[in-house]
Structure 1
């Protein structure tokens, strides 16, 4: 049985309704499990990290298969928890609206909710850059990748992808304490997102009718083997420059420069949101074609 028709329903339902904010999200349970493993197994280094990954994959598959036995309605409802089309749009729009109105303080506060860099001293260009980079990369992590793995493996595939992404965000950092323990999660996340990242970049270029040259040229400059594809695609479509100097916890760092011309402004952030909506719609159309064909 094809997973395309349920996926199309999931995409449309999640975009229309999002996830109720008053309900605890299932990813919080995954995060609690990861945190418990981190406290008890970090000292086991690579072995502990591999054990964490194995448990997450096994539980994700088991829960996904169990829900699938309840029927297609249960699958669609559960599947909406694994995508972030609506929430990603709303979080970035919460940055774009005050930035366009000239309220830099509110825009800084909103962008601090979606990026890890220091935001207190960002100017308009810095806020717009941070929000656009987060939008592009999260289009892969929060939309294309879970959709791809649902299409490939149903609800278990989606749950596995989300669990791995959550583990990477929590323990995949290259700090001295987590370098060994988080290695398996980081590598698994690279693998899970390898093809979706390139699909995400292609979708952005497709709806923007441009950006291909910049994506192919600059994607490899990014520190991540995957993050550069959608980010470089968005830089190319907008005709703007992303990346450059940032600060994390007061320490200066340098992100790869993607694209060219000047840094983006509030208007470019609004344009990026439009590209994001069109890229999501293009994905719906493609999934619908697959559903119709099968």
Structure 2
């Protein structure tokens, strides 16, 4: 129903940014991403066994795609009339994260500003995959800045793209794979084989959205293009480097570098040049993020007007 209808996507973006996911609903039934996460965790515990971990992980990845597509098709089939359209708009907001990402990063900024490193680490651990227990303030600022940039693609641009292209089936399939990638698509020993297929599918689904996200960040900052083109390929991910290097260039700071995941140190190249980001830079990144979200609305609105 939303497939090919940018005016409805614009409504989804605006409603999600304004309302987010209701706290009372989260407390009562959780969030759809949490449901998918529990399913992935259960399958990982049961089937992540050598020597067939990669095969099992591939089956899991395609099962997740089928689940997402089936759920989306069923909801669109059941929806009808204006009531169905409104219901689909509200359901689609659960696949976007403008408000959630904003609020989660603010939850890191506030304790950092107050000097409460423990609270900042706890808040940060909810939005990053790396180990946070040993991070000091500079490391937490860098991690939050990188996650803000990468999640602008993963949590906003990419789901909006697939919602427009393939409707709810595309959105749900993308969210299932994106959730799997965030949980098991790591390079450490435990997940390297089992999460391989989910990571590769996520790479494919994010290929174009990542480049669009990087461009939106650069447009909103008025700079960052040179660093994005130069450093995007340095990232271990073929996609995350685009929004992250765009943000590094926009802020004039250095992002990336090695980090620990599940106790294992993963070497990574740095993106950008200059000093590591500080608290002021993280606030600047938030301002760029807000403008990029609004610019995305304008782009979608422009497409709706042209069509």
Match of 1:28 in 2: 34
CA shift, 1:174, in A, is 3.2
Shift of residue 198, structure 1, vs aligned partner: 0.7
Change (3 A) 1:94 1:178: closer
Structure 1 residue 182: Cα displacement:
2.1
CA distance in 2, matches of 1:208, 1:275: 6
Which residue number corresponds to residue 15 of structure 1? 17
Aligned to 1:132: 145
| Match status 1:59 vs 2:72 | no
Q: Does 1:204 align with 2:217?
A: yes
Shift of 1:95: 1.3
Matching residue of 1:41: 47
- Residue 181 (structure 1) aligns with: 194
Q: Is the 8 A contact 1:3 1:150 kept in 2?
A: no
Aligned positions of 1:226-265 closer than 5 A? 226-249=239-262, 251-265=264-278
CA, structure 1 residues 242+28, in 2 after alignment: closer, same or farther (shift >3 Å)?
Answer: same
Q: Deviations over 1:107-153 (max 9, x none)?
A: 33322322233334433322211110010111111111100100111
Pair 1:72 & 2:78 matched: no
Note the alpha carbon deviations across 1:56-111, whole angstroms, 9 max, x for none.
22221121112113121121011011011111000101112232344444333322
SS in 2 for 1:255: coil
What is the rounded CA distance, in whole Å, between the counterparts of 1:106 and 1:36 in structure 2? 29
Structure 2 unpaired stretches of 5+ = none
Let me know the Cα RMSD of the aligned residues. 1.9
Call closer, same or farther: CA 1:63–1:268 in 2, change over 3 Å.
same
Structure 1: state its 5+ residue gaps.
none
- 8 A Cα contact 1:215 1:236, kept in partner: yes
Change (3 A) 1:47 1:244: closer
Q: If the length of structure 1 is used for normalisation, what is the TM-score?
A: 0.93
Counterpart of 1:258 in 2: which secondary structure?
strand
Q: Distance in 1 between matches of 2:186 and 2:258?
A: 20
* CA shift in 2, pair 1:126/1:38, >3 Å: closer
1:3 aligns with 2:11: no
